[in-house]
Amino acid sequence: MSRRLASTKSLKETLQEVIPAKQEQLKRLKTEHGQAVIGDVKIENIIGGMRGLKAMLWDASVLDPNEGIRFHGLSIADCQKVLPPAPGGKEIIAESMLWLLLTGQVPTTEQTRQLSRELAEKGELPSFVESLVDSLPTSLHPMTQLGIGVAALNRESAFQAAYEKGMKKSEYWTHTLEDCINLIAKLPALAARIYRNVYQPGNSLPAIDEDLDLVGNYSNMLGHGDNHNLTEYLRLYIALHGDHEGGNASAHTAHLVGSTLSDPYLSYSAALFALAGPLHGLANQEVLRWQLTMQQEMGNDVSHEDIKSYLWKTLRSGQVVPGYGHGVLRSPDPRFVALQEFCDARPELRNSPIIQLVKKTSEVAPGVLKEHGKTKNPYPNVDATSGCVLYHYGLTEFKYYTVIFGVSRALGALTQLVWARALGLPIERPKSYSLDALEKLIKQ
Give tens-digit pLDDT for 57-77: 999 999 988 888 999 999 999
Q: Is 134 a catalytic residue?
A: no
pLDDT digits (tens, 9 = 90+) for 72-127: 999 999 999 999 999 999 999 999 999 999 999 999 999 999 999 999 999 999 99
Q: Which of 255, 263, 383, 392 is catalytic?
A: 383
Domain 283-392 sits in CATH at 1.10.230.10
Q: Domain limits of the chain?
A: 117-278+398-422, 283-392
Residue 244 known to be catalytic: no
Which CATH homologous superfamily contains domain 117-278+398-422? Citrate Synthase, domain 1 (1.10.580.10)
pLDDT score of 323: 87
Q: Note the pLDDT of residue 7.
A: 67
Position 2 scores a pLDDT of: 41
Alpha helices (H) in 317-434, listed in sequence order = 334-344, 347-350, 353-372, 383-392, 401-422
Q: Say how many Å lie between the first and final Cα of the chain, rounded.
A: 66
Q: What is the pLDDT of residues 184-239, one digit of tens each?
A: 999 999 999 999 999 999 889 999 999 999 999 999 999 999 999 999 999 999 99
The active-site residue, picked from 72, 141, 224, 280, is: 280
The pLDDT score that the predictor gives to residue 5 is: 52
Helix (H, G, I), strand (E, B), or coil: what is residue 28?
helix
For residue 67, the model assigns a pLDDT of: 86
Beta bridge partners of 380: 324
HSE on the CB side for 233, CA within 13 Å? 29
- Catalytic hit among 59, 326, 333, 392: 326
Q: What is the pLDDT of residue 6?
A: 56
Longest dimension (CA), the chain: 72
Is 326 catalytic? The answer is: yes
Report pLDDT for 329.
Answer: 73
Residue numbers of the chain with a pLDDT score lower than 50 = 1-4
Residue 8 DSSP code: G
